[in-house]
Chains A and B, each alone.
Chain A
Amino acid sequence: MKRIGEFFRDLNKNRVLLLMVLPTTIWFLFFSYLPMAGMVIAFKEYRYSRDGFWASIVDSKWVGWQNFKFLFSTNDAYIITRNTLLYNVFFIIVGLVVAVLMAIVLSEIANKRLAKVYQTGMFLPYFLSWVIVGYFVFSFLSYDKGMVNHIASWFGADPTQWYTDKTYWPLIIVLVFLWKSIGYNSVVYLAAIMGIDKSLYEAAMIDGANKRQQIWNITIPMLKPLMTILTLLAIGRIFYADFGLFYQVPRDSGALYSVTNVIDTYVYRGLKSTGEIGMSTAAGLYQSVIGFVLVMTSNYIVRKFDKDNALF
C-alpha cells in the first residue's frame, strides 16, 4: 500500500511534465508501437473485416510461418535482398570516398566566397523530392526527347530505350544517389574539417610537410572518428532502401524490377498492387528484425571503438 501511495505521489508531482509528454506518447503508440504489434499479421492470412481493425487482426487465421515460406521460396526474396544490400554497400563506400574528397576540395579552395557558392550549389539536390528528381532524370533519359539519346546521336549511336533496358540501371541508380547526397554529406565532413585545430597544420608546415602530406596525415586522421561513426550507422541501415530512389527514378518500370526492386518497393507493391498482404508484412518483418540486429551490432562495435560516438 505504501508503495502504491508513493507511486501516485510521484505521478502527482510530475503531472505537468507527464501532461507534456502525453500527446507525443499517444502519437508514438498509434504510429509506432501499434504497428509493431500489428506485425503478427505476418503469421496470419490477413482478411479485411467490416468490424474494424481489431476484428480484422483477431479474426484472420493463423498460418504460422507459411507467409515466410512463400516469400523465401520465390526468387523475389533473393533479388530484393541482393539489390538492397549491394546498392547500399556501393552507396556507403563510394558515398564516403566522394563526400570526404569533396569536403577536402571545398576546404582547400583559396577563395572562400567561391567555395561557399559551390557548396550552396551542391546542397540543392538535398532539398528536392524524388518526384522532382524523377522528372530531372526523365529529361535526360526520355527515349525520343532526352538529352542522352540526343548526344548519342551526334556520335551516330542508336537511341536507347532507357526505361526498359536494364543494362545501365545499376550505374544510373548509383549516380543519381551520389548526385542527391554528396552535397549534404560533404557539408557534414566540411564542418568537421573546419573544426580541426589550425595549429596542427602550422606545426606540420614548420616541420616541412607539404599540402598532400598535411591532408594525408592531419585532415584524414582527424576525420576518421566521424567517418567510422557515419559508416557504421549506415551499415545499421543497410537493410533499408530509399523508396523514392528505387520507385520514382525508374518510373516504376516493370522491365527494370530485377535491378531496381528492393525490400521497400517490394513491400509497397505487395500492399498496393499485388495485394499479398501476408507476404508483404513478412518481408517487412524480415527487414525490421535484421535491421534491428544490424543497428545493435554496429552500435556495439562503435562503443568498442569510441564510447562517446555510440548511438546509445
Chain B
Amino acid sequence: MTTQTQTIKTKPRDFHKLPTVWNVLFNIIAGIFAIACVFPFIFVTIISFTDEKTLATNGYRIIPEKWSLEAYRYLFKAGDQLLRSYGITITVTIVGTVVSLILTALFAYAISRKSFKYRNFFGFFAFFTMLFNGGLVPTYIVVTQLLGLKDSLWALILPLAGNAFYIMIMRTFFVTSVPEAIIESGKIDGAGEFKIFYKLILPLSLPGLATIGLFSTLGYWNDWFNALLYIDNPDLVPLQSMLMRIENSMQFLLQNTNNPSLGMGVLQSLPQDTSRMAMVVLATGPIIFAYPFFQRYFIQGLTIGAVKE
C-alpha cells in the first residue's frame, strides 16, 4: 500500500502507468510476436535474392552465402505468364470491386430507407444467406452449367460480388451517418430517388464505401479458390492461383515461355526455388506496401460491423 500511495504522490496524474519491469516484458512479448508475423515475408524475400546453387547446397538461410538477382532477371525475361497473371488479377480486382460496390451500395441504401415498404423483406432476403447456404457442389453446378461461366473471367468476379455481410455494414452506415433530412431536402428540391442517391447520398458515404471497397479489393486480390474451381485455361489464371499451380514444378512457367533458347539443358540451371519465391514476393509486395496506410479503414470496418442498427 505504501508504494502505491508513493507513486500517486510522485506522479499524481499518471494513473495508467505500468511498472517498468512489466512494461519491458510487455514490449518483448508484443515485439516478438510482431516480428514473428513479419519474419516469414522477410525470409522469403531473402530466399528470392539467394544464389540458386548456394540454395541447393545450404538450404534456405537467413544470411545466404551468396546473393543473386538471377530469379528476378529470369522472371522479367521469361515471365510472360507472370505479367499475364498480374493483368488478370488487376482486371478482376478493379472490375470486381466496382461491381461489388454497386451491388452493395444500391441494395443497402434501399433497405436503409424507412419509406421503402419492402425493406424488411429484402433485408431478410440478404441476411438469410448468412445463416444458410447451398454449399459448394450446387453452387458449382449453377455457375458452370446454368450460367456457363467455366473458364470465364466472370467466374472470378461474380461469385465474390455480392456479400450479405457488406450489405449489413453498409446499411448500418447509411442509417447512422446519412441524415434523413438530406433526403427530404432533396425531395423538396424535386430530385428523383436516383438523383438523391447519386448526388447527395454517395458523396456523404465515401468513408463507408472506402471501407467496403478495401475489403472487396483485398478479397479479389487474394482469391484463388474460384480460380481453382472454375479456371482451367492457363491464360486466365490469376496471380494467387498461378503461385499454386507452380508450387511443385516450374513446368507451368516453362510451357508458357516463348523463349526458344530454353532447351532441356537449360532446365537444370533455371532458378527454380528462387524464382518461385520471387513470384511470392512480387504477388505480396503491393499488399505489404499498401496495407499500413489502409489499416485504419479495416479497423473501422471491423468496428462498424459490430454495431447494429
Residues of A within 8 A of B (CB): 10, 13-14, 16-18, 20-21, 23-25, 27-28, 30-39, 41, 48, 52-54, 56-57, 102, 105-106, 108-111, 114-115, 117-132, 134-137, 139-140, 142, 144-147, 149-150, 179, 182-184, 187-188, 191, 198, 201-202, 205-206, 208, 210-211, 226, 243-244, 248, 251, 264, 267-268, 270-272, 277, 280-281, 284-285, 287-288, 291-292, 295-296, 308, 312
Answer whether A145 and B60 are a contact pair too, CB < 8 Å, given A131-B240, A135-B44, A268-B136: yes
Q: Quick check: B135 and A288 within 8 Å, CB to CB?
A: yes
B206: CB under 8 A from chain A? no
Instruction: Identify which of B142, B167, B197 gathers the most chain A CB atoms within 10 Å of its CB.
Output: B142
Q: Quick check: A24 and B33 within 8 Å, CB to CB?
A: no
Chain A interface: which of B72-80, B90-98, B106-114, B256-264?
B106-114
Q: Quick check: A36 and B287 within 8 Å, CB to CB?
A: no
Q: How many of chain B's residues touch chain A, expressed as a range?
A: 35 or more
Question: Assuming A31-B158, A36-B138, A124-B288, what are 13 further A-B pairs, CB within 8 angstroms?
Answer: A17-B193, A24-B162, A27-B161, A30-B146, A38-B134, A53-B146, A110-B23, A120-B34, A131-B240, A147-B60, A179-B36, A211-B22, A267-B136
Answer whether A277 and B137 are a contact pair too, CB < 8 Å, given A34-B142, A295-B131: yes
Chain B residues positioned under 8 Å from A187 (CB to CB) = 299, 302
Q: Quick check: B135 and A132 within 8 Å, CB to CB?
A: no
Interface residues of chain B: helix, strand, loop or mixed (majority): helix
Q: Quick check: A20 and B197 within 8 Å, CB to CB?
A: yes
B204: CB under 8 A from chain A? no
Task: Kindly state the separation between the CA atoms of A136 and B223 in the bound complex, as whole angstroms.
Answer: 17
Q: Which residue of B lies closest to A295 (CB)?
A: B131
Chain B residues positioned under 8 Å from A52 (CB to CB) = 145-146
Task: Kindly state the separation between the CA atoms of A108 and B139 in the bound complex, as whole angstroms.
Answer: 47
Q: A231 to nearest B CB, angstroms?
A: 14
Mark each residue of chain B from 186 to 208: 1 if its CB lies under 8 Å from any CB of chain A, else 0. Answer: 00000011100100000000000
Q: Quick check: B41 and A136 within 8 Å, CB to CB?
A: yes
Q: Quick check: A139 and B34 within 8 Å, CB to CB?
A: no
Task: Kindly state the separation between the CA atoms of A85 and B74 in the bound complex, as whole angstroms.
Answer: 45
Q: Quick check: B147 and A145 within 8 Å, CB to CB?
A: no
Q: Quick check: A124 and B38 within 8 Å, CB to CB?
A: yes
Q: Quick check: B138 and A41 within 8 Å, CB to CB?
A: yes
Instruction: Identify which of B36, B133, B197 gathers the most chain A CB atoms within 10 Å of its CB.
Output: B133
B63-120 interface with A by 8 A CB criterion: 102-104, 106-107, 109-111, 113, 116-118
Q: Quick check: B137 and A271 within 8 Å, CB to CB?
A: yes
Q: Quick check: B229 and A32 within 8 Å, CB to CB?
A: no
B291: CB under 8 A from chain A? yes
Residues of B within 8 A of A (CB): 1, 4-5, 8, 15-19, 22-23, 26-27, 29-31, 33-38, 40-41, 43-44, 47, 55, 59-62, 102-104, 106-107, 109-111, 113, 116-118, 122, 125-127, 129, 131-143, 145-147, 158-159, 161-162, 167, 192-194, 197, 218, 221-225, 228-229, 240-241, 243-244, 247, 273, 276-277, 280, 283-284, 287-288, 291-292, 295, 298-299, 302-303, 306, 308
Q: Quick check: B37 and A121 within 8 Å, CB to CB?
A: yes
Q: Quick check: A109 and B137 within 8 Å, CB to CB?
A: no
Instruction: Identify which of B29, B137, B143, B223 gathers the most chain A CB atoms within 10 Å of its CB.
Output: B137
Q: A37 to nearest B CB, angstroms?
A: 7
Chain B residues positioned under 8 Å from A120 (CB to CB) = 34, 292, 295
Task: Kindly state the separation between the CA atoms of A312 and B299 in the bound complex, as whole angstroms.
Answer: 23
Q: How many A-B residue pairs have CB under 8 A?
A: 286
Q: Quick check: B138 and A39 within 8 Å, CB to CB?
A: yes
Chain A residues positioned under 8 Å from B104 (CB to CB) = 24
Chain B residues positioned under 8 Å from A268 (CB to CB) = 136
Answer whether A125 and B132 are a contact pair too, CB < 8 Å, given A17-B116, A24-B107, A108-B18: no
Answer whether A251 and B18 are a contact pair too, CB < 8 Å, given A20-B109, A28-B126, A179-B37: no
Q: Quick check: B280 and A132 within 8 Å, CB to CB?
A: yes
Instruction: Identify which of A17, A30, A139, A267 gathers the most chain B CB atoms within 10 Å of its CB.
Output: A17
Chain B residues positioned under 8 Å from A184 (CB to CB) = 302
Answer whether A139 and B277 are a contact pair too, CB < 8 Å, given A21-B111, A25-B125, A121-B37: yes
Task: Kindly state the separation between the CA atoms of A205 and B291 in the bound complex, as whole angstroms.
Answer: 38
Q: Which residue of A lies closest to B162 (CB)?
A: A27
Instruction: Identify which of A109, A187, A243, A264 gathers the most chain B CB atoms within 10 Å of its CB.
Output: A109
* Residue from B5, B38, B59, B109 in contact with A145 in the complex, judged by beta carbons closer than 8 Å: B59
Task: Kindly state the separation between the CA atoms of A238 and B285 in the bound complex, as whole angstroms.
Answer: 33
Q: A12 to nearest B CB, angstroms?
A: 11
Task: Kindly state the separation between the CA atoms of A304 and B204 in the bound complex, as whole angstroms.
Answer: 37
Q: B28 to nearest A CB, angstroms?
A: 10
Answer whether A53 and B134 are a contact pair too, CB < 8 Å, given A24-B126, A106-B30, A135-B277: no
Task: Kindly state the separation between the CA atoms of A184 and B292 in the bound complex, as whole angstroms.
Answer: 13
Q: B265 to nearest A CB, angstroms?
A: 24
Q: Quick check: A271 and B136 within 8 Å, CB to CB?
A: yes
